[in-house]
Amino acid sequence: MAELKITAGNFNAEVIGSELPVLLDFWASWCGPCRMLGPVISELAEEYEGKMKVGKVNVDDEPELAGRFGVSSIPTVVLIKEGRVVAASIGYKPKEELVKALGI
């Protein structure tokens, strides 16, 4: 399953209302570390299909969502369970480190 594009319009349905945990990647196209993290996020989306949703939030397009999560540096990756942030990681990390940091 490809990553979901998360916007203010689908946030409540896809994230808050999700029965599965949701991994959100806050990113921007001009951000080098974000582009490095992109393939890692795609791998996680495939590996955890059916167990976890993986979404991407473009901070340039969705500044209100970034603000809601207090995102001041990108990439920022958060893990949400039952509508609440349970773990977060800021900056680029290799896949193994990211999985460990988020406890997934």
Identify the pLDDT of residue 12. 95
Number of domains, the chain: 1
Encode pLDDT of 1-15 as tens digits: 589 999 999 999 999
Question: In this predicted structure, what is the pLDDT of residue 2?
Answer: 80
In this structure, are residues 76 and 90 in contact, taking their beta carbons and an 8 Å threshold?
Answer: yes
The residues annotated as belonging to the active site are 31, 34
Can you read off the two tokens belonging to residue 83?
A: 């509508």
pLDDT of residue 33 exceeding 80, the answer is: yes
CATH assignment of the domain containing 35: 3.40.30.10
Q: What is the spatial distance between Cα 27 and Cα 37, in angstroms, rounded to a whole number?
A: 9
Summary mean pLDDT of the chain: 95
Q: What pLDDT, in 10s, does the model give residues 34-75?
A: 999 999 999 999 999 999 999 999 999 999 999 999 999 999
77 φ/ψ angles, rounded to the nearest 5 degrees: -120, 130
Say what percent of the chain tops pLDDT 70: 99
Beta bridge partners of 7: none
Domain that holds residue 65: 4-102
